[in-house]
Amino acid sequence: MCTTVFFLHKVSSCTLFFVAVGLDKREVAPPRQREWSHCIQTHLLNLQHRGGNLTNYQSEVLLKNLAQLDTMASTLSVRSYSVRQPSFSSMSQRESGRSIRSKPPVSSSTLSLSRSVSMGNGLNMLGSSLSYNGLGAAASEKETMIGLNDRLANYLDKVRSLERSNSDLEIKIKQLMLERTPKGHDIEGMMAQAHAIGQEVRKRTLENARIMLEIDNARLAADDFRVKWEAEATLCQSVERDCQALKRAKSDHDQIIGTLRGDLDSLKEELYFLKKSHDEEMMTVKSRLANEQVSVEVDAPHGPDLGAIMAELRVQYEGIARKNKDEAEAWYLRKLDAVQSEVKESNEALRSAQSELSERRRFLQALEVELDNIRRQVSVLEGNLAETGHKYSVEMDRLQATLTGLEDELSQLRLDMQRNKTDYEQLLRIKQNLEMEIATYRRLLEGEETVKETPPPPKKDPDVRTRKIVKVVTQTMINGKVVDESSEVEQIEERKK
């Protein structure tokens, strides 16, 4: 009956298995003994590749067990054997350790093993060849095991440091996300300011539209006044033409009156000469009659009385002259009164037209001054509107640049988190592979024939969140001019798995 005792030594969270073999009045079969020896040699070679963490005492114990196993293999014959399941206890470990330390060193012998081991979880094919040549090679093997121990300790320290750095990075990332989260909402104050600026812009735009409407109304009123002024100017020109025509008629009448007065004077002179000649003839006749005193009786019919005829002609001509004079004076007075009344009316109409024209000119000048003032106000308001629009665009560009920078930082932070997560998963897979290798070594040392393949942990899909910022700009245009403009910013967050 063969008693196989397994010693477990905890070395920095990694379990190493050591085998001590004791005889219980039975011999151990050489094939089974060679299998144990091969397992121990394979474990040593794997430790050499991975970096072991064995102490000097553990290396000595392992070498003594190998030497004892070699001696047993050379002295015992083949008999029936059985293997008992190992028992694990801290007391058995301590007693076995003390029993092994108390045994004398085993004589030198040669043990050569060669085997190829294949593992289901993707371990490398290892070709192992290990030879022990007596106590003389124990020192070099001890140094080799110490080196393997140091390499494994360094590797485990590196794994622990990477885990600590990974946890620190996760904590920092969480803190950074907590710090950055409120800053993403600071844009609401800026959006409120932008909304206030938009309200001011809309107010200015409405005021500008009102002023433009007033300007249009003033322009229409000025056009109406201009039309009225043109009508009055046309009427004034027609009145002036009538006045000029009346002046020409007056001059014609003056000429006619002068001609009639000349005719009247000539008639008066003719009448005077006729009277004078008649008086002279009468005086001559009277003087002749007085001188001759001739009485002539004519027995003949009486002839016409020349005196009576002359008196009658005189009376007739005087009546005609008086009548012509009265008619001429009456016609002249009538014409003069008519012309004077027409001239007076024309002068009054002209004066009223001139006063109205001067009043319209003054009103037009006042309207032109007011139009110039309104134009200056419009230019000033347009300048203010352009300046406000420029400031608003600059502020929006700055906010957009800030938002873009924050989005870039967030994307970079997500990439860093994804990279750290990938590194952590790689380290976790390496750790799991190491644990699987250690479990495989344990099963091999316990004598298990089959190796179960542990599937890798399922890969978690990354949690991707997409944040969309939608900006809606609404513009109200009247006759091709923007009179109102408003903008709204909406954030949409989508989560993709």
DSSP string for residues in 127-183:
E--EEEEGGGGHHHHHHHHHHHHHHHHHHHHHHHHHHHHHHHHHHHHHHHHHHHHHH
| Domain end (from 159, 194, 224) | 159
Q: Is residue 11 within 8 Å of 55, Cβ to Cβ?
A: yes
Q: What token pair was written down for 439?
A: 């479990």
Whole-angstrom CA distances from 462 to 65, 406, 415, 465, 495 are 50, 22, 11, 10, 11
In three-state secondary structure terms, 25 is coil
In which band, very low, low, confident or very high, does the pLDDT at 89 lie, cut at 50, 70 and 90?
very low
Would residue 450 count as lying in a domain?
Answer: no
Domain membership of residue 376 as a residue range: 216-285+305-409
Q: What is the CA 9 to chain-centroid distance, rounded?
A: 68
Residue 275, pLDDT score: 84
State which of 117, 136, 159 marks the end of a domain. Answer: 159
- The confidence score (pLDDT) of residue 496 equals 54
Residues 6 or more apart whose CB falls under 8 angstroms from that of 393 comprise none
Quick check: 463 pLDDT over 70? no
Of 26-30, 77-81, 392-396, the one with minimum mean pLDDT is 77-81
Our count of domains for the chain comes to 2
The whole-number average pLDDT for the span 403-418 is: 89
Dump the DSSP string for 52-109: ----HHHHHHHHHHHHHHHHHHHHPPP----BPPP---HHHHHHHHHHHHHSPPPPP-
Long-range contacts formed by 235-240: CB under 8 A, 24+ apart: 235/353, 236/350, 236/353, 236/354, 236/357, 239/346, 239/349, 239/350, 239/353, 240/350
Question: Looking at the structure, do residues 19 and 148 belong to the same domain, yes or no?
Answer: yes
Q: Do the domain assignments include residue 440?
A: no
Q: Is the pLDDT of residue 131 over 60?
A: no
pLDDT digits (tens, 9 = 90+) for 290-347: 776 545 454 545 556 677 777 887 788 888 888 888 888 888 788 888 878 887 887 8
| Residue 332 included in any domain | yes
Q: Encode pLDDT of 358-383 as tens digits.
A: 888 888 888 888 888 888 888 888 88
pLDDT, residue 15, reads 38
Q: Is residue 485 part of a domain?
A: no
Q: What is the 8-class DSSP label of residue 471? A: E
Give residue 470's pLDDT band: very low, low, confident or very high (50, 70, 90): low
Count of Cβ atoms closer than 10 Å to residue 244 Cβ: 11
Please state which of the ranges 93-107, 276-290, 391-405 shows the lowest mean pLDDT. Answer: 93-107
Q: How far apart are CA 205 and CA 211, in angstroms?
A: 10
Domain boundary among 374, 409, 444: 409
Q: State whether 271 and 350 are in the same domain.
A: yes
Could you count the other beta carbons within 10 Å of the beta carbon of residue 46? 21
pLDDT of residue 303: 55
Q: Are residues 114 and 23 in the same domain?
A: yes
Q: Do 128 and 255 have their domain in common?
A: no
Query: Is the pLDDT at 104 greater than 50, yes or no?
Result: no
Asked whether residue 105 is assigned to any structural domain, the reply reads yes
Residues 269 and 402 in one domain: yes
Q: How many residues does the chain have?
A: 497
pLDDT at 329: 84
Residue 257 and residue 142 share a domain: no
- Residue 60 and residue 127 in one domain: yes
Q: pLDDT per residue over 143-167, tens digit each?
A: 888 888 888 888 888 888 898 988 8
CA-based radius of gyration for the chain: 72
- Token pair, residue 232, equals 């009055």
The model's confidence at residue 128, banded by pLDDT at 50, 70 and 90, is: very low
Q: What pLDDT does 110 receive?
A: 32
Which carries the bigger pLDDT value, residue 15 or residue 487?
487
Place of tokens 């002749």: 288
223 in the same domain as 147: no
pLDDT in tens, 200-248: 888 888 988 888 888 888 888 888 888 888 888 888 888 888 888 888 8
pLDDT band at 106 (very low <50, low <70, confident <90, very high): very low
What value does the mean pLDDT of the chain take?
69
Query: Is 419 a member of any domain?
Result: no
Cα 130 from chain centre: 74
- 13 lies in the same domain as 110: yes
Beta strands 110-113 and 116-117, pairing class: unpaired
Say if residue 155 is in the same domain as residue 230: no
The pLDDT tens digits for 28-60 are: 344 444 555 555 555 555 554 444 444 444 455
Q: Are residues 232 and 322 in the same domain?
A: yes
How are beta strands 464-478 and 481-496 bridged, if at all? antiparallel
Structure confidence at residue 196 (pLDDT) = 87
**Residue 291, domain member (yes or no):** no
Mean pLDDT of 100-129: 35
The residue whose two tokens read 């380290």 is 427
Do 220 and 128 belong to one domain? Answer: no
* φ and ψ of 3, to 5 deg: -105, 120
Query: Taking 50 as the threshold, does the pLDDT of residue 9 lie above it?
Result: no
With vertex at residue 110, the alpha carbon angle to CA 109 and CA 112, rounded to the nearest 5 degrees, is 155
